Structures are given as C-alpha cells and as structure tokens.
Amino acid sequence: MRTEHFHTLSSRSGFPNLTHIRLVSDDNYFKHPSRAASQLAENWVLRLASLKRLFRLITQYFVDALNQPSSSLDVPDLQAIARDHDALHTMAVCRLVLAIAVQSEGKQEVVEHIKKLSERHQSALMRSIEEVCLSIYSAFQMSNSCVLSNTIGSQKVPTSTQT
C-alpha cells in the first residue's frame, strides 16, 4: 500500500504556490512482521505483539492517509484475539482492514475481488464497510469519506444462486 505524507510549507518559503511537498513515499506501510509466521502461530504473546503493530498501523493509516480520525474507530480486544481466538474482536479488526481496503489506492481492484463473491457475501461485506463508515460519520460528520462503499452498493451485483 502506497502512502504519501504531505507537509505544508510556510509562507516564508518564497514559493506561495508550492503549498505541499511530499516528504515520504512508503510502499511498505503494512510491511510484514519480521518474525516467521510459524513462530507467531505458536505463541500468543508474539501474536499479541503482531496484532498491536497491525492495529497501530491501521489507526495511523486512517489518520495519515485517509484523513479520518482514529478516535472514532472501535478498539478491539487484541489480547482476546491473540490468546483466545475471539471471533467478535477478530471481526472488529477485519472491518477496519476492509474499510481501509475500499479506500486505498487499489480500491478498484478490491471492488473487483468483492464482486467475485456471492451476492450474500457481498451484502455482508457492504454492511461491514457501512458499519465502520457510519461510526466515522457519526463522530465527525465527515461528508467526503467512505464514498466507495456507496459506489459498490450502487453497482449491480451478480444474480447468484448461492444458498
């Protein structure tokens, strides 16, 4: 995932039209943890450390890349996920991942992947996206975020026969 950070230059710079400059371009914002996945799978404390890192990056991404407040996001119990494989809190993290995915630079590809799913699964994911977006809207009444969830919702879904 590509992230660009901008910094506003002061008017003393002598370049009044040059209001922003890209300071950092990071193609590895969500870089994989250095530990081997097998190590993480065996030790819940290591899993917790990995989840903490993931959640920190997720909240940073909402603020830095999406200009959305992290304070309005649900905070999952990461220890319950790491130690007990708690499904409720795991899904809370999954909703945040999905919300980022549909607002990322690769959102069109994300939409294509979602459209591969059954109608039932597409609807379930739409509700997940809307849940996160509504929490952001309700806290800050932002009018320009989560536009893509509406885009997906307006697209015709395949006439699935899935049961």
Partner 1 sequence: MDESEAFIAWLGTYNLPTRSVATLADLSDGVPLFDVLSIM
Which residues of this protein are in contact with partner 1, per CB under 8 A? Answer: 1, 28-33, 37, 40-41, 44, 46-47, 50-51, 53-54, 81-82, 85, 87, 90-91, 93-94, 97-98, 100-101, 104-107, 109-110, 113-114, 116-118, 120-125, 127-128
- Kindly state the helix (H) or strand (E) to which residue 91 belongs, with its residue range: helix 87-101
Closest distance of CB 132 from partner 1, Å: 12
Closest distance of CB 74 from partner 1, Å: 14
Closest distance of CB 10 from partner 1, Å: 33
Based on CB atoms, which residue is closest to partner 1, 9 or 117? 117
Based on CB atoms, which residue is closest to partner 1, 88 or 139? 88
CA torsion, points 21, 22, 23, 27, in degrees to nearest 10? 180
Based on CB atoms, which residue is closest to partner 1, 9 or 111? 111
Which DSSP string do the residues of 2-45 spell out, in sequence order? -EEEEEEPPGGGS-TT--EEEEEEETTTTPPPSS-HHHHHH-HH
How many whole angstroms from its chain centre is CA 81? Answer: 18
Based on CB atoms, which residue is closest to partner 1, 78 or 136? 78
The CA–CA distances, whole Å, from 56 to 52, 131, 144 equal 6, 20, 24
